[in-house]
Amino acid sequence: MGTVRARHDVRLTSYRDGKGETKSMKFPSPLRTPLGAALLSALFPGLGQAAAGKPSRGAIVAIPALAVLGALGFILLFYRRDLLDSAFNQAWLTSLLLLDLVALVYHLWAVADSYLLAGKGQQELQPGRRRRTTPSPHKWGATIGVAIIVSGTVVVHAGVASLDLQWQGGVQCLSQLSGCGIPTFAPGQTVGLDTSDANQQVVDPSGSEGIASGSSSPSPSIGPAGTIDISQLPSFPTTDQSKNWAADGQFNVLLLGVDFEPGSRAQGLRPDTMIVLHVDIQSGRAAMISVPRNTMCVPLPLAIGEHYAKSVNGCPVNTWPYMLNWLAGEAGWGVVTGVSAINNFPFDQSPTAGQANDPMAIQRGVDATVQAVSVLTGLKIDGFVMINISGLVTLIDDLGGIDINVPTKVYDNPCGPAGTWESKFRVCAVSPPHDGYQVPPDTADVIARMKADAAQSGGQRTITWSGGTTAAGTDISFVIQPGKQHMDGQWALAYARTRIYTTDYDRSLRQQLVLKSLRGSITNLCALLPRVGSLITDMSMFKTDLPLSDISKWAGLAQGIVGGNVKSINLDPTTLGNPGVTYINQTSWAKAKDVVAHSLDGVPAASPSGGSGGGGGGGGFGC
């Protein structure tokens, strides 16, 4: 017996190297048991076989796992760009599911094989041992142990499959403009088009209780109708030009900031933020061009403009006679009521146009907005990215906050005519009264979190009051002092969103600053991997019609678009040569196109690591 045991111990724990010499493998005795060997193979296939005295077999069993790890390492080193593209490819993600299923079968076989090998080895050690007729406590423990190991292996692979499926759903939501968190109309629901928008008024920062005048006033100011030559209105192809976004050497994407909180009215889909990112692909030079939401009389593309052959609201013919951000309402919903529904969906013949829960409503609204901005700027807009404010907040939080160099003091607090509760904070001529900055009620503790973040700002940010008339009491009074500071998502949103003590035009530039700061914070995509669960949720808050198969090319461009090579432009009345006047006429339209045409003048080229693709290895934002 002693001789047999000694020989078996050597076979269990030794192997021959390339010179034929016997080397010892150091496996603790518990890991040479069937249960221990099974556990080792669960951790990494092949280890259990080696522990059971079959190192050659273990090496063979480990080959598939080692091959997968080697391929992954090779891809991370040399083909990260392709890996990034594959992460947004539905066919590849489905193939990954099948690979995970094959890996599960292989993994379970490796566990079972190592268990049986180790068990056979134990029987060889004790050839004369008689079998029990009843299960021993030890055997029950082994059975439970095997069940735990097998269950753990299945759970790991099921987790990978679940993450894959969730990620696929998120990727699908990126290009889906119905469902995926976007509210729809209930049957029979209509939306009134409030073109007056009283909140456009701005309290005079001087404290004179008046309304800011001149070019700082965002209140609509209509001049003589003028004319827009219909021959100058461009036509747009029906094909999806977003797939050929790089064909002209430029990348022009319209960033739309909207508010479509779950359960909110669909009118929240009006884009309060419209920024064109204009990039020269070869040099990486870039400009961010804000189009104010209250711009009026914007020329329309030919297919739409020809339906506006009469002057309405003092605007020239062939133009949209209200604030630009309301064009999506008429173009997409088709169920707006009141005098604003001047055509009741004249430029779309779809049988579902204007019907409740129309799945194409948002697509039509976005398309019309994209085309109108394209006409105004003279740029071929390649596609759009629509961002919900909640998505912006969570993305910033996922990044751990962003650094913003605030140039001037920004604040917000209630104000109203004498006798109102708001006037206890400040008397002003705004009607209806302003209740303070309303925090998006995404969570009950949002204000508490903002206060906690402010407490760490060294006095740069403060909340001096909270309460208000809403059921959740989400109105606040806040102050953001000038200077470089680190903000979480809600504070960055408050900085970019407040407007009652400032103008829409100033707000547009603050929004650009937030986006630049956000870009500066995204330097390492791999740093986001621990937040993959949050990122999946975030994806439902972003929509785009750009081809996701080109995401690595965008990353390559974005790698160089940062800092001083991005110019900020605002197409406000002063820039267009009409201070205090928000409408577009032939003269200001020509000025807008000229400003945009020279928007990259004087902008330095991007760093060599940017450009058109980011190189064969990285593709931008490398790990």
| C-beta separation of 48 from 39 below 8 A | yes
| C-beta separation of 385 from 544 below 8 A | yes
Concatenated DSSP letters of 226-244:
----GGGPPP--SS-GGGG
What pLDDT is stored for residue 614 in this prediction? 33
pLDDT digits (tens, 9 = 90+) for 451-499: 999 999 999 999 999 887 666 678 899 999 999 999 999 999 999 999 8
Calculate the alpha carbon distances from 313 to 162, 224, 583 in Å.
54, 10, 11
* Structure token pair of residue 153: 């292996």
Domain residue spans in the chain? 2-19+27-127+139-174
Calculate the alpha carbon distances from 153 to 68, 159, 174, 432 in Å.
17, 10, 32, 62
Q: Judging by DSSP bridges, how do beta strands 566-570 and 286-290 pair with one another? A: parallel
What pLDDT is stored for residue 524 in this prediction? 60
| C-beta separation of 369 from 533 below 8 A | no
Give me the numbers of helices (H) and strands (E) for the chain, helices first please: 17, 18
Name the percent of the chain in helix, strand, coil, to the closest 5.
45, 15, 40
What pLDDT is stored for residue 18 in this prediction? 54
Calculate the alpha carbon distances from 466 to 96, 414, 477, 494, 556 in Å.
49, 10, 6, 14, 43
Q: Which residue matches tokens 């030919």?
A: 302
The dihedrals phi and psi of 297, each to the nearest 5 degrees, come to: 65, 35
Cβ of 591: how many Cβ atoms within 10 Å? Answer: 17
What pLDDT is stored for residue 372 in this prediction? 93
**Segment holding 337, helix H or strand E:** strand 336-337
Calculate the alpha carbon distances from 383 to 254, 314, 396, 400, 602 in Å.
6, 31, 23, 29, 26
What are residue 604's DSSP bridge partners?
none
Low-confidence ranges of the chain (pLDDT < 50): 1-13, 15, 22, 186-189, 194-199, 205-220, 262-268, 334-345, 609-621, 623
- Rounded CA-CA distance 517/405 in Å is 9
What pLDDT is stored for residue 388 in this prediction? 80
Cβ of 78: how many Cβ atoms within 10 Å? Answer: 12
What pLDDT is stored for residue 9 in this prediction? 44
| pTM as predicted | 0.79
What pLDDT is stored for residue 363 in this prediction? 81
* Structure token pair of residue 109: 């076989």
Q: Where are the alpha helices (DSSP H) in 29-129?
A: 34-43, 47-51, 55-78, 80-86, 90-125
The dihedrals phi and psi of 343, each to the nearest 5 degrees, come to: -125, -15
| C-beta separation of 280 from 602 below 8 A | no
CB within 8 Å of 165: residues ≥ 6 apart: 97
- Rounded CA-CA distance 61/47 in Å is 9
CB within 8 Å of 325: residues ≥ 6 apart: 270, 271, 272, 274, 293, 294, 369
